[in-house]
Amino acid sequence: MNYRLQDLIKLIIPGLYVMAFVVGWKLLLSNNTIDMSKIKDVTSIIVLLIPFVGFIVGYFIECVMSASEHIFYLLGGRRPSKTILSNGLWGLYVLNSANTILTKHGISGSISNTKANEVLQIAKQSIEREKVEVFRLNSMLARNIFGGQLFLTLLYGYISDSFYKDGYFYVALTVSLVFFFYWFHHTHTYIKYVLSEYGKTLN
């Protein structure tokens, strides 16, 4: 298995993000004191374990988020490719070559979710993926961090008996929404650049 640094980062950062909050909560809720002398004895082991555990947690988050995203689309959720090929969203993510791409594939009028996905898959196979790799990684990192924050928000709601009265829960929920929209933005940006590069091959 050959992981590049960027691939590791998109897994480790969300994993460490979740770990930091879970460990923090555990320490704040625990009445036990920490024996620093014992921690010093195993510092080297902890330093080695932290990135490894962060990777595993991040990998789990990616699996769950990837599966959730696919299920959303299978249930009829609107695909970003449909939005972009339909002249963007509220004037955002407008693709200049959208008409060229639609004409190439014999599409007139509105485009379905299924057809939009077919066009996107063809586009991915027709371009140099390295040109859009940074946008793909940004999208996946944003998705995984949102997934981690959503998990923390749900976990807090589960362990708190009166979370609906707790200001911390609403702060966590607000942060989740901010991260969701950030992921939404990066996903549409990535798809737009994939289709833009594909449009260049049709000229």
CB atoms within 10 A of CB 146: 24
Q: Indicate the burial class of 145 (C-beta count within 10 angstroms; 0-12, 13-18, 19 or more).
A: buried
- 89 DSSP β-pair partners: 92
Q: Quote the pLDDT of residue 136.
A: 93
Q: Quote the pLDDT of residue 142.
A: 95
- 92 DSSP β-pair partners: 89
Close Cβ partners of 70 (under 8 Å, ≥ 6 residues apart): none
Share of the chain above pLDDT 70, in %: 87
Say if CB 163 and CB 60 are below 8 A apart: no
Q: How far apart are CA 153 and CA 195, in angstroms?
A: 35
The pTM of this model reads 0.84
pLDDT of 32 higher than 80:
no
**Tens digits of residue pLDDT in 175-193:** 999 999 999 999 999 999 9
Q: Quote the pLDDT of residue 90.
A: 75
pLDDT of 1 higher than 50:
no
pLDDT of 26 higher than 50:
yes
**Tens digits of residue pLDDT in 105-137:** 888 878 889 999 999 999 999 998 889 999 999
pLDDT of 94 higher than 50:
yes
Split at pLDDT 50, 70, 90, the class of 29 is: low
pLDDT of 54 higher than 70:
yes
Q: How far apart are CA 17 and CA 160, in angstroms?
A: 20
pLDDT of 102 higher than 50:
yes
Split at pLDDT 50, 70, 90, the class of 34 is: low
Q: Quick one: DSSP state of residue 100?
A: H
| Residue scoring higher pLDDT (24 or 27) | 24
Smallest CA-to-CA distance from 196 within 113, 105, 111, 126 is with 126
For residue 58, the Cα-to-chain-centroid distance in whole angstroms is 11
Q: How far apart are CA 10 and CA 58, in angstroms?
A: 8
